[in-house]
Structure 1
Amino acid sequence: MESIKSKVIAFGIFGALMVGCGQDSQKEIIAKWNLVSLNSNGTEISLDEPENPAFVTFDGSKLNGNAGCNAFFGNYTLKDKMLVVEGVGTTRKMCDEKSMAIEDSLIKVFADGSSELSINGDTLIIQKENTKATFKK
């Protein structure tokens, strides 16, 4: 009986720790993050002089930002170090070539579906397929 009781307590503690980890990530991501590096298919995309600085803001279950030219918005959840995005929309204006190059690559990590996510202090990295975006608070 003592062994079963110990196992139940151990599973309860483990479950609480796992829930706590998810809540920590949720708290850490809620901020405005400015794009500092963008790599697509092994090529670094220049962030010099876009029409609008690229950023993303996470708030509750919603995200919004600017991809260098157009604004974007959607809903998100965090699941096991994955960013799951749904219902993404964007404005649709044309900008200069540099801004559009940034946008074309950056919007891939925010397209509907899952992306790998890591947060280390004031650095956020989101990666989907061959595109990796690094942000700072």
Structure 2
Amino acid sequence: MKLAAIPMLIIGLCVGCTSTGTVTSEQLKHTQWQLSRVDGLAIPPSFNASIGFIEALQVNGFAGCNKFFGEGELDDSKLTVNKLGMTRKSCGAQLDKFEQQLLQALKQGSTVKMQNQRLLLQAKKTFEFIAK
């Protein structure tokens, strides 16, 4: 009888793995993500970007050239980062433009989805991150 419960437990755990429903701050807390794709296209190695979430939905990361940080707010699966601060290095026109697109998506707000160990931020562009 106990063995019959194991497949149900496994099915229940896997349902959470592929969930695309409402993302909560608890799901994001203490997670780290590495950018892998933008609008479905693999990013060049030079565009190495990441994002992390700590207590009280504090956000920090690396946008490819500059570090950033701010106060995240999650409302109905929309993530907005307020009081966004960052270092101010320039790494060339192409990388600077990429950074601005990512940071703009965070400032203006992006729809957040989690699916199969991936975090999607959808704004004008879709940023796809993988779990670190």
Please confirm whether the aligned pair reaches a TM-score higher than 0.5, indicating the same fold: yes
Name the SS for the 1:110 alignment partner: helix
Of structures 1 and 2, the larger Rg is shown by: 1
- Residue in 2 that maps onto 1:72: 68
How is 1:97-108 mapped onto 2 (pairs within 5 angstroms)? Answer: 97-108=93-104
The percent of aligned pairs where both chains have the same amino acid is: 26
- Residue in 2 that maps onto 1:33: 33
CA RMSD of aligned residues (A): 2.3
Deviations along 1:22-55, one digit per CA (max 9) or x if unpaired, are: 7x7223212110001113xxx95x62131x6200
Name the SS for the 2:109 alignment partner: strand
Deviations along 1:59-90, one digit per CA (max 9) or x if unpaired, are: 12200001101111000122111112210011
Report deviation, 1:116: 0.8
TM normalised by structure 1 equals 0.69
CA distance in 1, matches of 2:122, 2:59: 16
Contact 1:29 1:119 in 2 (8 A): no
Name the SS for the 1:92 alignment partner: coil
Report deviation, 1:97: 4.2
Show structure 2 runs of 5+ residues with no match.
1-20
Equivalent residue for 1:118, pick from 108, 113, 116:
113
Change (3 A) 1:98 1:118: same
Report deviation, 1:98: 4.3
- Residue in 2 that maps onto 1:94: 90
Contact 1:109 1:132 in 2 (8 A): no
Which amino acid is the alignment partner of residue 111 of structure 2? E
CA distance in 2, matches of 1:84, 1:93: 23
How many residues get paired?
109
CA distance in 2, matches of 1:63, 1:107: 12
Runs of 4+ residues deviating >3 angstroms: none
Q: Which moved more, 1:80-89 or 1:62-71?
A: 80-89
TM normalised by structure 2 equals 0.71
Show structure 1 runs of 5+ residues with no match.
1-20
